Structure 1
Amino acid sequence: MADFKTHISTSSVLGFAYAGVGHVLFHAPLSSSILAGGLCAVSGMLPDIDSDSGIPKRESLTFAAAVVPMMLIGHMQRAGCDSETIVLVGATIYLAIRFLGGHLLSRFTVHRGMFHSIPAAACFGQAAFLLASGPLSIRLFKASAVLMGYLSHLLLDEFYSIDTSRGRVRLRKSFGTGLKMFSKNIFATAVAYLTCIFLALTIVQEPRLMAHLDALGNAAGTKIDASLERLEQHRDKTTSAPSETDAPALPQIDDTDVVPIRLPR
């Protein structure tokens, strides 16, 4: 099997090339291209989050805990969430991924299980599409970056499972454990496929979800505008109302209304 350094180096080179091609040839925004390249680079570590060693799991969980809340900002803004709510949701997601996610992975997964499979790669690609915001083409661009980085890890594991020493080709026992469609654990296989199906259905129904989020955002914006308008009207009334200490205004006298008085001599 390839080691951690080989995986991260390969996915980083792929991410750099992917970002360059996307920006130069397909005119993707520079910021989106850089983010996609970073996603591709880090996705090369994702299959090893079930590893018993600490480096791949720690680095992958730390990156995911930081990036996932940032990718959700656009969706939360569309839903009309204020800045305080966005911060609270982001902090909750970070803590859940960073600590609870690591505990669950250590407890319920085995190394080179279903995380080293094509269904798992599809799950991470679909999740990246749902998390990304912006136009459809940009979301596909970012999701493809995650899928490419993930598959690069699986392909490297398969490549390093081929022994070419001693002048002959020999397959190691680990061959076929990377690009697999199912594992010996029926429960893990079922969870992977059910997750993949759930994410696919969510993507299909997402236009309705986005329309609902837009409606929530518009409703929140309308309420805010109405509140600001009422506040403005109240302030105008308060400003125009006469103060109790103000002296009453003297009546204006028209010269035409003055009747001359003649005194007797």
Structure 2
Amino acid sequence: MSVLRNQIVPWIKVLACQALVLAIVLSLSGSLTPGSLTPGTLPVLLGQGAAAAGLGLLLRMPRIWLLVQFLLPVAVVYGDAVPAWAYLVAFVLCALVYWNSASEQVPLYLTNRRTWQALADLVAASQARRVVDLGSGMGGVVTFLARAHPAVEVSGLETAPLVVAASKLRIAFSRLPNARIVYRSLWDADLGTYDVVYCFLSPVPMARLFEKARREMRPGTLFVSNSFTVPGRAADRILDVDDARHTQLHIYTL
């Protein structure tokens, strides 16, 4: 139920922001329909998107949703003007980004900054020397932890090609010698070499992944799951993060 809520609530906020801004636009300029568009309408649509994104910022929505807010009015009005090949390009790009969504049923979830800090505090408290982020996405966790703890080796495992390329580029620009991104499936990784294993995946792989962690990880090391619990196993500790989505880190001591 919480997963469904996390998917639906952002869209409700998007539609509410767009409806509010559109009502203001209509009250100021009269009706706005595709049939009455002029070249000067595009700035109005961009302004509407920017205003909706501003409302989303006040609602503390993640940055990806702010981009949706900004582009949505233009996409709705000018959708018919988009050439057919653009949809193929968009499909290929989405496939390269959401590579695991179909096969592993793991969407691209991005960890927010407050959770980064909570993880950094946890790493410090556990005196970990090696940390891994399973499904590291854009590399935010990896770069933050590597910068916060220069003596800790921080790795990220990812298999979505475009995401891997972007995160490797991010690591290169960050110039963090203790950070790395590896193109590797989490199922092929040896979790026994890490002191803290972090993941933000989905409910689907959690049981199998925890069994892998139990087989491979050393006694006293930590398995940390963002939001999703291990079926049939209560967490040894739950860390509540003070953020907009009320993130919980479920911590299991092996």
TM-score category of the 2 structures, normalised to the smaller one? under 0.3
Give the structure with the higher percent helix.
Answer: 1
For CA contacts below 8 A with separation 6 or more, give which structure has more relative contact order: 1
TM-score, reference length from structure 2: 0.27
Q: Please say which structure displays the higher CA radius of gyration.
A: 1
TM-score, reference length from structure 1: 0.26
Give the structure with the higher percent strand.
Answer: 2
